[in-house]
Structure 1
Amino acid sequence: MVRMTAIMICAVLAGCQAVPGEGPLTADIKKDAGQSPTQIGRIDAAVFDIVNVDNRTAKLVSDYVATALNRRFGFGGGAGRAVIGVGDQLKISIFEAGADGLFSTTESKQTSLDVVVQQDGTAAIPYVGSIRFAGKTLEEARQEILSSLRSRAVEPDVIVSSVNTASRKVTVSGAVGSSAQVPLGLVGEKITDVIAKAGGPSGQPYETYVTLVRGKKTGTALLSSVIDNPSENIYVQPGDQIFVARDPRTFTLLGAVRANARINFGASDLNLLEAVALGGGGNDAAVDAKGYFLFRYEEADIVMSLLGRQRFNELLSKGMKPDRLGRYPIVYSFDMTHPDSLLVGQTFPVKNRDVIYASRHTSVDLRKFLALIGAPIGIASQGAGVAYNLERISD
């Protein structure tokens, strides 16, 4: 019996690749990590790397997810300097102390003028001429008009107010109440302010994405993240484009789990343990507890922070390619045999379109092989047990 079992094990070790399986084994994934297509043996193979998740990794990824817009645009605080621009409509009120001045009569000691800033950035003021308004604040424009009137009017004073800020508009479109060009106030407005002016989002914040386009930069964040993290609710600038999209977040669970499926988040956030639990958890009779993996195209900043610039450049030289959004393939590895994995798994965030894969244990392939060749049940069980113990010893 022992001799036959040994023969069976040797046969499996020599030819287990012929056994059907539900995806790669843990060893296969780790073997291909960091290898070039030539080393893997397929010219079209994707180049990726593995990151073993610990407390530091989980915190780094979690912190980045919560501050995507802040990091992308490099700021999150000030409203900036609100200035007058071309096309803005201004109301200029001029007061004089005397009754017979340039702008006053016996009935009124003030005159109000409505002006529109022209393409050259100027507007004409009676008895003053052309004044340059573009690029100035309201106070700066007031001081310039006042300075020009002091030698002409009787103890003049001036008030400049904004009527229509045509140059200070943000375009908001997509899954909002009403797509519109939203005028910005002079005090500065944030992302949630302008979305509210466009009628608010049509979906729940946890399934709504906000994309901000500014010049050549583009950043996307979950609306619930913008709401929960004040640093993400950044000030918008004139000319910004904001696109709001409703996209229920999903992840895919595959491998040695109770149910292979594409699953909706159904919540504002989701961690790794919750995601696995939504699919019914791992299959105790098949799963390799050391082989839980999360496949993701990750932001370049995170990849460099995790791997280091030298390793990142090495992978690029081997052929690692970004997706259309400039993100790079990374596989996060979780060893569930360690007690602290239950803590780390709670802090590691799952993102939209992630693929979570639970590798099967090597003993599963042995049982399949022995069953295929018609080995007696007792020998099959004994052989699987021996293979399982051999693996534990090798680890």
Structure 2
Amino acid sequence: MTQALFSPLRSGATPIRTRSLAARLTRAMILGGMLLVSACGLPRSGPTKGQILSSSVTKGGTTHIVNVDDRVNRAASYTPAYGFSADFRAASTVAADDIRPGDVLGLSIWENVDDGLLASMGSSSTQLTELQVDSQGYIFVPYAGRVLAAGNSPEELRRIITQKLETQTPDPQVMVTRVAGDGATVSVMGKVNSQGVYPIERPTRTLSAMLSRSGGVTIEPEIAVITVKRGNSSGKVWLRDLYSSARNDIALRPGDVILVEEDERSFTALGALGGQTKVPLGNEQINAIEAVAMVGGLSTSLADPKGVFVLREEPQTVARAVLGRGDIHGNQRVAYVLDLTKPDGMFLARDFIIRDGDTVYVTEAPFVQWRKTLQSILGTAAEVGSANSAFE
């Protein structure tokens, strides 16, 4: 009896009980795979449309969900612009001849006598070179004492020194020259051919002239931004706008700092798009359609054209206009929803302007998750089937 019971094993046949156990194991693993998929979720490019909508303020979240229409486009059309304030534009040009602390002057003095106060034996003139104006604005001239030079032009200073000397020597003749204008300078830095400290002189009293003096910019003019810092204030302007509008060509003041740099404004593209990256904005206005096109458009196999979002933080004034509420205080998180399947959806997206710091996010279509789930289940079944074959 013992021999008959174990004879099938010796002949190489698979017992029915073993095959039944493998089948049950297969079904159990498929069911386990389905439960695992539903419990843990599948990989995706980001949150679903439903998950974003569930973060709405009306549902206890922190984000205002706004469906874009013509009214919203008008309210959200605010775009921070570069430009100089009225204080910068109202500043008058610096008189290039005015003497300032730090300037270096030269004096030539002629005396109408053979043995003058200042002249050496056999000479009727005296040269006083490199007289630096001190921090209080004074210079020292022998026999004239400390003379206030700052605030005067060379001609005015000449008359002052002449008056002080003529009481001690007859009919003195004085000539004042401005050797260096170190007291009225600006600093030019960044993407220019020749960085440095430059004096404000008659040909370089405006921003455009000073940029030319430094050799011009070293980057493409279309992306060049000029920042002028004056004390605790600063202003910016596109290089293109500087040359296209005379009011942007401001007068420079002593101590100004001019910085030339490449524009760094950008938006981020994420989700079911042709690419996921950070995209420079440049100096042109970009709408939502152009933003999507710049990264390869919507992914035809993944994207939900009803789930195009623009995520941004709106300032208080814009948030109040967009939401139609006067009780909004401070910056607000806003998720703008663009439905490209609507009859006017493409037009609304074309009129929606993208701003610096925006995130353009496209959700995956609902069927994509179903497809991923099915593929995951079929893949699990195939793997279990292979494992089952190993038992046979």
TM-score (norm 2): 0.60
Segments of structure 2 that go 5 or more residues without pairing to the other structure are: 1-37, 376-392
Q: Is the alpha carbon distance of 1:214 and 1:271 closer, same or farther for their aligned partners in structure 2, counting shifts above 3 Å?
A: same
What residue number does 1:184 align with? 200
What residue number does 1:170 align with? 186
CA distance in 2, matches of 1:27, 1:222: 41
CA distance in 2, matches of 1:24, 1:140: 74
Q: 1:344 corresponds to which letter in structure 2?
A: D
Q: Is the alpha carbon distance of 1:25 and 1:191 closer, same or farther for their aligned partners in structure 2, counting shifts above 3 Å?
A: farther
| Shift in Å, 1:85 | 2.1
Q: 2:91 corresponds to which letter in structure 1?
A: G
What residue number does 1:54 align with? 73
Q: Does 1:372 align with 2:388?
A: no
Q: 1:358 corresponds to which letter in structure 2?
A: V
Q: Does 1:197 align with 2:213?
A: yes
CA contact (8 A) 2:316 2:329 kept: no
Q: Does 1:122 align with 2:138?
A: yes
| Shift in Å, 1:190 | 3.4
What residue number does 1:87 align with? 102
| Shift in Å, 1:153 | 8.4
Q: Secondary structure at the match of 2:140?
A: strand
CA distance in 1, matches of 2:177, 2:40: 78
| Shift in Å, 1:257 | 2.6
2:89 to 76, 80, 88: 76
Q: Is the alpha carbon distance of 1:234 and 1:305 closer, same or farther for their aligned partners in structure 2, counting shifts above 3 Å?
A: farther
CA distance in 1, matches of 2:277, 2:177: 59
Q: Is the alpha carbon distance of 1:204 and 1:344 closer, same or farther for their aligned partners in structure 2, counting shifts above 3 Å?
A: same
Q: 2:221 corresponds to which letter in structure 1?
A: P
Q: 1:78 corresponds to which letter in structure 2?
A: A
| Shift in Å, 1:197 | 2.1
CA contact (8 A) 1:66 1:225 kept: no
| Shift in Å, 1:183 | 1.4
Q: Is the alpha carbon distance of 1:260 and 1:157 closer, same or farther for their aligned partners in structure 2, counting shifts above 3 Å?
A: same
Count of matched residue positions in the alignment of Structure 1 and Structure 2: 321
CA contact (8 A) 2:225 2:260 kept: yes
Q: Does 1:132 align with 2:148?
A: yes
Moved more, 169-178 or 332-341: 332-341
CA distance in 1, matches of 2:326, 2:265: 31
| Shift in Å, 1:122 | 0.3
What residue number does 2:386 align with? none
Q: 1:356 corresponds to which letter in structure 2?
A: V
Q: 1:257 corresponds to which letter in structure 2?
A: L
CA distance in 1, matches of 2:286, 2:133: 53
Q: 2:351 corresponds to which letter in structure 1?
A: V
| Shift in Å, 1:125 | 4.0
Q: Secondary structure at the match of 1:368?
A: helix
What residue number does 1:381 align with? none
2:362 to 348, 358, 361: 358
Q: Is the alpha carbon distance of 1:260 and 1:94 closer, same or farther for their aligned partners in structure 2, counting shifts above 3 Å?
A: same
Q: Is the alpha carbon distance of 1:156 and 1:207 closer, same or farther for their aligned partners in structure 2, counting shifts above 3 Å?
A: same
Matches within 5 A, 1:244-323: 244-246=260-262, 251-263=267-279, 268-272=283-287, 273-283=289-299, 287-289=303-305, 291-295=307-311, 303-307=315-319, 314-315=329-330
| Shift in Å, 1:111 | 8.3
Q: Is the alpha carbon distance of 1:130 and 1:254 closer, same or farther for their aligned partners in structure 2, counting shifts above 3 Å?
A: same
Segments of structure 1 that go 5 or more residues without pairing to the other structure are: 1-14, 41-46, 321-328, 375-395
Q: Is the alpha carbon distance of 1:369 and 1:242 closer, same or farther for their aligned partners in structure 2, counting shifts above 3 Å?
A: same
TM-score (norm 1): 0.60
CA distance in 2, matches of 1:80, 1:207: 28
Q: Is the alpha carbon distance of 1:355 and 1:126 closer, same or farther for their aligned partners in structure 2, counting shifts above 3 Å?
A: same
What residue number does 1:43 align with? none
The C-alpha deviation readout for 1:84-106, integer Å capped at 9, x for no partner, is 3221023567899x9999999xx
The C-alpha deviation readout for 1:160-210, integer Å capped at 9, x for no partner, is 553311122222223321221111125763333333322222211233344
CA distance in 1, matches of 2:65, 2:183: 48
| Shift in Å, 1:256 | 3.1
Q: Which has the greater radius of gyration?
A: 2
CA distance in 2, matches of 1:308, 1:103: 76
| Shift in Å, 1:117 | 0.7
Q: Secondary structure at the match of 2:76?
A: helix
CA distance in 2, matches of 1:163, 1:349: 53
2:47 to 24, 43, 47: 24
The C-alpha deviation readout for 1:301-339, integer Å capped at 9, x for no partner, is xx24423699798347xxx8xxxxxxxx76666565446
Q: Secondary structure at the match of 1:75?
A: helix
CA contact (8 A) 1:80 1:188 kept: no
